[in-house]
Chain A
Amino acid sequence: MEIKLLTKVLEVNENIAKENRLLFKTKGVFTINLMGAPGSGKTSLIEKTVILLKDRISIGVIVGDISGSIDAKRIASYKIPVVQINTENIGGQCHLDANMVKQASSSLPLEKINVLFIENVGNLICPAEFELGENKKVVLASVPEGDDKPLKYPVLFQIADLIVLNKMDLIDKCEFQVMRFQKNIRKINPKVQVFKVSTKTGEGISQWINWLIENLEKSKKGVS
């Protein structure tokens, strides 16, 4: 006997993501799911943002890694709230899911946080599938990865609300063509903005900071 279900496989995750979204909204927290390959500079972008904004807004961070707390220690040195999630304890998962974020959020002082960064596990495939309850999905790419990545890993680039291209300081040392990268992105996500930055030199970071502030304000007004 066949019984029709038509139930979403990730329904449980999506329901928890909805709870997270409501919790963040209630507490007035603007949340960013930061995704990108290992070594693209996710932690560096957060560090740079904290340095530039810590006197203006309060930032919290959830860091996802398979193992260790190197990134969390880096971020904690700025005296901001940070929680490390290690997925090695739960099967070594290559992405964060809504339940991990829910657990991690419970140990953060959410009422005191304006912007919460969720630094996903470094991966260009799996994080795309799991809603966390975030306001915006930001994908961080970097010059040494090559300009063909949007075509090789289209799903992540397709769901991005913003794409940040890091390590522009290495542009002369790599075969990377910005025009080709942008053309590849346009094929899969025609309307998305691309910011060119270097977390090392600070190039282009102001554009990212302005975007962040603007979207934080929008979310306060309930537009985002």
Chain B
Amino acid sequence: MHELSIAENIIKVVTEQCKTLQIQPYEIVKVKIKIGKLTCVSSESLIFAFDIIKNEACLPNASLEIDSVPISIHCKICQKEYTLKENESVLCFLCPTCGSENIELLSGKELYIESIETNERN
């Protein structure tokens, strides 16, 4: 259940940004986040945790929108790129084309807040 910690961290970042941007937290209607598949964060659990604690943080109107990012790798030997399919459960850090272990991760570790959205009044 690291989703609760992650929800708390999202709320911390958003409330800090509200101060910087001089927005009232209750004006926030949406928080968009990107989550890479490698983070093992469950979207359902994260939304559940976020909805439970958002009121305490004066973010009652905010809903969490999650964009899930697939794992993709680039082989430094054959220069091919490969994106793991949605149902591909076994993670593999070997190039599926040439079998090389000399690969770099292009995406999948994302865990960041992309944007916040306020209501139309602004």
Contacts and interface: CB of A to CB of B under 8 A. Distances in A.
Contacts of B90: 151, 154, 187
B113 A3 contact: no
B93 A3 contact: no
Interface in A153-181: 154-155, 158
A190 B6 CA distance: 29
A151 B21 CA distance: 44
Interface string B60-103: 00000000000000000000000000000011111000000100
Majority secondary structure, B binding face: mixed
A12 B93 contact: no
Given A3-B21, A188-B91, A190-B94, A12 B12 contact: yes
A191 interface: yes
B104 interface: no
Interface string A46-76: 0000000000000000000000000000000
A9 B115 contact: no
B37 to A, nearest CB: 10
A9 B2 CA distance: 13
Interface of A: 1-13, 91-95, 97, 125-126, 128-130, 151, 154-155, 158, 186-191
A12 B9 contact: yes
A41 to B, nearest CB: 23
Given A93-B2, A128-B40, A187 B111 contact: no
Given A7-B17, A9-B10, A155 B114 contact: no
Contacts of A186: 94, 101
A2 B30 CA distance: 9
